[in-house]
Structure 1
């Protein structure tokens, strides 16, 4: 068998459309998981035992259930009780909730790593706890958590390929359709491998650049 990429030419617009759909879903899911993770991390580290326990249950639950099971529950299970959500929205919600569980762990670690002396100084200066959390705790926690958050986000991008199982023609779903139409799965999936590798590599580079920018004062001091 000869390796022939020319067979892709007629299908490039369709594949590009799938890639754009993947990008849209991932951007929304990254934002959603960051928001959810931040709230859950705040609850886990809060002084309220009840809120902390609820947050821990959420994290343990969604970290220990396969993503595809969560996805099928939202897409195929909820309609049985009258809740209908389109495939794209379902994918974004499922990715956000699953990613939020892992993101919360990273942010929680960032919060716990903050020097208690900084918080004590802020309290002595008369700042309220909400102000301290918003203006001191979260900026420091997010800055120190950039690299591990990057790993979570890369994994979320890779996990988005599973959205093809709920009829969403994102990049992987589009590639499956093209492979079945052309009967040339080797070329199609070889290109898909390269596409995901390039995408995650670019995201890793961006995360590294963001980490260096946010921690530039520490680098200069060293």
Structure 2
């Protein structure tokens, strides 16, 4: 078999469209997962037991159920209840909910790592609990959790390839169509392999640089 990438040239616009769709889904999903993860982390560190139990149940459920099952539940199961969601929105919601379960652990670890003296000093200054949490605790926790959150983002990029199972023609779905049309799956999936590897590697480097920048001047034990 002769390796020939030239057969993909006519299909590059279609593959590019799939790549852009993947990027849109992942961008919206990472925002959703961080917001949801922060809310769950707050609930898990709350003094209210019902909130802690509810948050823990959410994390345990979505961390221990295959993502494909979650995806099919939202896309094929919810219509049985009269709830119809398009493939793009379903992908964003499913990735956000699944990613939120992992992001919550990272943010919760960042919250628990904060020195008690910082919070005590803020309380002595007369700041309200809401201000302390939103202006002091959460920013420090997010800064500490940058690297774990980066791992969540990388995993989300890789997991987004499963969205083709619900007819969403993101990059992997587009690649599958091109492979079917050209009968050259080796070249198509070789390109996708290199693309995903390069993208996740670039994201990992960017996350590390962001971590260094945000934690500049802070000892590694604290950061």
TM-score normalized with structure 2 length: 0.97
Structure 1 residues 137-156: aligned runs within 5 Å: 137-156=137-156
Structure 1 residues 197-208: aligned runs within 5 Å: 197-208=197-208
Deviation at 1:217, TM superposition (A): 2.2
Deviation at 1:85, TM superposition (A): 0.4
1:109 is matched with which residue? Answer: 109
Say if 2:82 is the partner of 1:82.
yes
1:132 is matched with which residue? Answer: 132
Q: Structure 1, unaligned stretches of length 5 or more?
A: none
**Rounded Cα–Cα distance in structure 1 between residues aligned with 2:140 and 2:218:** 12
**Rounded Cα–Cα distance in structure 2 between residues aligned with 1:191 and 1:171:** 11
**1:182-213 Cα shifts (integer Å, max 9, x gaps):** 00000000000001011111111110111011
RMSD: 1.0
Provide the aligned length of Structure 1 versus Structure 2: 220
1:63 is matched with which residue? Answer: 63
**Rounded Cα–Cα distance in structure 2 between residues aligned with 1:48 and 1:79:** 35
Q: Structure 2, unaligned stretches of length 5 or more?
A: none
Indicate the SS of the match to 2:172.
helix
**1:124-167 Cα shifts (integer Å, max 9, x gaps):** 11111111001110111011110111011100110000000000
1:37 is matched with which residue? Answer: 37
**Rounded Cα–Cα distance in structure 1 between residues aligned with 2:217 and 2:206:** 19
**Rounded Cα–Cα distance in structure 2 between residues aligned with 1:44 and 1:16:** 41
Deviation at 1:107, TM superposition (A): 0.3
**Rounded Cα–Cα distance in structure 2 between residues aligned with 1:19 and 1:40:** 31
TM-score normalized with structure 1 length: 0.98
Deviation at 1:81, TM superposition (A): 1.1
1:47 is matched with which residue? Answer: 47
